[in-house]
Structure 1
Amino acid sequence: MIWLILGLALWIGAHFFKRIAPGVRAGMGERGKLLVTVLSLAGVVLMVVGYRAAEWVPVYSPLPGMGHANNTLMLVSLFLFGVGGTKGTLYPKIRHPMLWGVVVWSVAHLLVNGDQASLVLFGGMGLWALVSMVLINRAEVWVPPTGGRGLKGDAMNVAGTLVLLGVIAMIHAWLGHPVFLGTYS
């Protein structure tokens, strides 16, 4: 569990660096971006290793049938991740689409995983995303972006979402967690 917590701390620390010490971060320029990237990647590796190695300690029992809700929420989450990149009709309407995607991802996984490590990982990431939105909103006035691709961007996002969901499902199956066969974790 220590690796999971350390990885989560690295991820959160790296992403809050700009908010906690904006002057220091700005003074680092490109080196600061590289530092955040390296710490974030190290955090992800430690979270994965720590989650997979964590002892299974039950906290609550997920409700039956929540796997379908998980899969549906994952579609929504992945779509939200792509909103900024594909610049569809939601692009000028949703502030922080990637962070909202993390929140939805977190909730989706907490619906089907009731163990301690899942609460730490998925709950921690969801909480990080919510706090990030609050910090950003306090620091910056949002000016909705203009332009975008409209429905063409949405179509691109739907296609990307479906491909990415397939890749994620294959990775989960490879790790022993088939997400479309009724076995969720």
Structure 2
Amino acid sequence: MTLLILGLLLWVAAHLFKRLAPKARARARMGEKGKGPVGLGILAGLVLMVVGFRMTETHDLYALPPYLRHLNNLLMVLAVILFGVGQSKSRLRGKMRHPMLTGVIVWGVAHLLVNSDAASLVLFGGMIVWAFAEMTLINWAESTPAAYKDGSLAGDIRLVLISLVVFAAIAGIHIWLGYNPFPG
């Protein structure tokens, strides 16, 4: 569990480096050169979270009904769509302030619906808390974002189709790792 917590802390620290006042000025002074160390911190945090999560031996803390796996899959499709909104040419992009961070929250909630062990609570709960904190800091620093107005129906359709393919790939990886997301 130590590696998982360390990874989560590194992930949060690297992401918040550009948001917190004294750190934000330090990050701004670094310019383009700062992207490498921040990216490395994020990647190292991600690796530590995955390794720490996989290494942690834990047991379920409470019972979950099996039908929640269906809700999990539905929420995961929504989370993948939300992750893609920020880079899409869909109409939804102009209607959401933080689509990727909202996607992290939906992803975390979806996983907590089907995982009741301590490692899952730390990982997914920690990511949910981080996403809310990140949204709050962004809103505090930038009260009004620039509006996106170039969305189209074709962009919406592309977003959904690409998201479904990505969801299928994620589900395939989960099955390959031994975590079948589909009730049998």
TM-score range with shorter-chain normalisation?
A: over 0.9
Match of 2:134, SS? helix
Tell me the equivalent position of 2:11.
11
Q: Which stretch shows the higher mean deviation, 78-87 or 53-62?
A: 53-62
Structure 1 unaligned spans of 5+ = none
Superposition TM-score, scaled by structure 1 size: 0.95
Q: In structure 2, do the counterparts of structure 1 residues 144 and 90 end up closer, same or farther at CA, with 3 Å as the change threshold?
A: farther
Runs of 4+ in 1 over 4 A off after TM superposition: none
Is 1:37 the counterpart of 2:39? The answer is: yes
What per-residue deviation string (whole Å, max 9, x for no partner) do you get for residues 89-121 of structure 1? 111110000000000000000000000000000
Secondary structure, counterpart of 1:147 in structure 2: coil
> Which range moved further: 62-71 or 109-118?
62-71
Q: CA RMSD in A?
A: 1.1
Name the TM-score, length of structure 2 as normaliser: 0.95
Equivalent residue pairs, number: 182
- Matched residues in 2 for 1:114 and 1:7: separation? 20
Paired residue for 1:109? 111
8 A contact 2:105–2:131 mirrored in 1: yes
- Distance, in Å, in 2 between the alignment partners of 1:98 and 1:146 is 15
Q: Which amino acid aligns with 1:71?
A: N
One-letter amino acid matched to 2:145: V
The superposition leaves residues 125-167 of structure 1 with CA deviations (integer Å, 9 ceiling, x where unpaired) of 0110011101111111123423323111111111111111111
Tell me how far apart the structure 2 counterparts of residues 121 and 15 of structure 1 sit (CA, whole Å). 16
One-letter amino acid matched to 2:7: G
Q: Give secondary structure in 2 for the equivalent of 1:104.
A: helix
Matched, 1:150 2:159: no
Q: In structure 1, what is the equivalent of residue 27 of structure 2?
A: 25
- Cα deviation 1:60-109 (Å, max 9, x = unaligned): 22223000000000010000111111121111110000000000000000
Partner-residue secondary structure (3-state), 2:47: helix
Aligned equivalent of 1:165: 167
Partner Cα separation in structure 1 for residue 127 and residue 52 of structure 2: 14
8 Å contact kept, 2:60–2:115:
no
Q: SS of 1:32's equivalent?
A: helix
Residue 137 in structure 1 maps to residue 139 in structure 2 = yes
Code of the residue aligned with 1:74 in structure 2: it is: M
What percentage of residue pairs aligned between the two structures are identical? Answer: 53
